[in-house]
Structure 1
Amino acid sequence: MMNKILLAAALAPAALIPGAAWAQSASAPTTVEPLVPAAGAVLDVSAEGRTSRVPDLATIRAGVVSQGATAAAALSDNAQRMARVLAAVKRAGVADRDIQTATVQLQPQYRYGENVPPTITGYQATNTLSIRFRDIAKSGSVLDALVAQGANQIDGPNLSIDNPDAALNEARTDAIQKARARAELYAKAAGLRVARIVSITENGQDAGGPERPMMMQAMARDAVAKTSIAPGERDVTVNVSVRFLLN
């Protein structure tokens, strides 16, 4: 990551800064610390703090695609199979709050010919659930059970960290420590010392949210192999800009 480094001597006392002069002329006395201190030099350092966690939340889309000669037939078949899939999800212990309908579609299927209008040959119904697994180790076996009950479309997983606050705080601490160490290095090289921090700005964070998902192909209902999902690790990062006063 490119670090933005700025070392500059203060050019004017606070009273000569237009904003500060306006503050002094206000009727109520106000003390405003200028962005650039009146004495000393400032050093701006950008740093990225980083830590890692094992993801503890997997989100997967599982659904049923049905074909029918009529719209009603496609929807009816889809509804029956989806009811079995939903029942299997709940039997596996997935809470209602972790089950959400993601997609419901009904589309005509066409046959195309040369110099003739397209002809509807049937209908395709799709119903997809978004399912969150809070025990990633068990999610593979649940997916196998869903396929056995009629699910024929599975996408995912999206792996993420359910409660990233502690990890983000670790990353923030790491970022400030890195910025401080870099400031000490530059100050020593310039024959100065770090007096204090003037300001801290958090520029962005990555809380270990889902990346672009790995796509899982729809599995045959008679498949023998067991599905497994490896959580790995996710980086949690925070970017900060810190202004130091040197003298």
Structure 2
Amino acid sequence: MRFGMVMVLLMAMTGTAYAEQGRITMNGTGTVYAEPDMAVVTVGATHQAKSAKAAMDQVSGTVEKILVTLSASGVEPRDMQTSGIRLDPVRDHRSYDDGGPRLVGFSASNQVSVRVRDLDNLGEILGDLVAVGANDVNGVRFDVREPRNMQDEARKLAVVDARAKAELYAEAAGVRLGRIVSISESGGSRPRPEMMRAASMADSAAVPVAAGELALEAQVQIVWELAE
């Protein structure tokens, strides 16, 4: 079969494989699943008061309790990092003065990003944080401490996937794969964080947590020459 006919057949089959000037290009995907062994939690406090200082003082007091609680739970200082501090005016848009909506107070917030390396204690830690006043829990993201092996395995599977599809299409078109011209990687991805809201935790001593599993994906593109 001539190369021009190969190109038409491959484009008609998927659109991800095509032949051009005696070559075939194929994309491959590899996915590896694993149980997480750590979590990253964003937790903090938000308070509103009539003055900026009062709002920030309330937040600072709560965050101090959060840090003490984390330390008592075995979280190391290197795993705690301030991730956001805000102070915003609060206005009543139902009443106005010369400067626009009337200023009624200030809202202050302080958030801390925490790595929890012991997942068995994650639910208890979250419950303890809510108990000391944490009212701003943005999310829990599960992760693995050493993703390199997972990444490498996903890359291998992506190459296998690309070759298997390329061989299938080449056989269907009546040609053979030649030498590899190039291999390129187009990145990887992780699952989106599992979101948890403080409102659902308020009456819980230990927060129920389901870690599930992680999926790490690798994508490659391989170009082969077609054998004569």
User: Please, what TM-score do these two structures have when normalized by structure 1?
Assistant: 0.76
Alignment of 1:1-247 (within 5 A): 4-8=16-20, 10=21, 41-114=22-95, 116-117=97-98, 118-206=101-189, 208=190, 211-218=192-199, 223-224=203-204, 226-247=206-227
State, as a whole percentage, how many aligned pairs show the same letter: 33
Give 3-state SS (helix, strand or coil) of 2:153's partner.
Answer: helix
CA displacement at 1:86 relative to structure 2:
0.9
User: Which residue identity is paired with 2:211?
Assistant: P
State the 1:200 CA deviation: 1.0
| Cα separation, 1, equivalents of 2:59 and 2:96 | 34
Point out the more displaced range, 71-80 or 233-242.
Answer: 71-80
Q: Rate the CA distance shift 1:179–1:67 in 2: closer, same or farther, 3 A.
A: closer
Long gaps (5+) in structure 2: 1-13
Change (3 A) 1:184 1:112: closer
Letter in 2 for 1:92: S
SS in 2 for 1:93: coil
Aligned residues: 212
Alpha-carbon distance, 1:220 to partner = 6.6
RMSD: 2.3
SS at match of 2:56: helix
Counterpart-to-counterpart distance in 1, 2:173 and 2:94: 78
Aligned-partner Cα distance in 1 for 2:148–2:15: 25
Contact 2:124 2:205 in 1 (8 A): no
Provide the C-alpha distance between the structure 2 equivalents of 1:46 and 1:124, rounded to a whole number of angstroms: 50
Higher helix share: 2
Residue 166 of structure 1: how far off its partner (Å): 0.9
Give the conservation status (yes or no) of the 8 Å contact 1:57–1:135.
yes
Give the superposition deviation at 1:219. 5.7
User: Cα offset for 1:90?
Assistant: 1.0
Change (3 A) 1:177 1:3: farther
Cα distance in 1, alignment partners of residues 94 and 214 from structure 2: 51
Contact in 2 for aligned 1:187/1:194 (Cα 8 Å): yes
Amino acid at match of 1:242: I
Larger radius of gyration: 1
- Post-superposition Cα deviations, 1:66-94, rounded to whole Å, max 9, x if no partner, equal 23332222222222222111100111111
Shift of 1:141: 0.7
Q: List gaps (5 residues or longer) in structure 1.
A: 11-40
The TM-score with structure 2 as length reference comes to 0.81
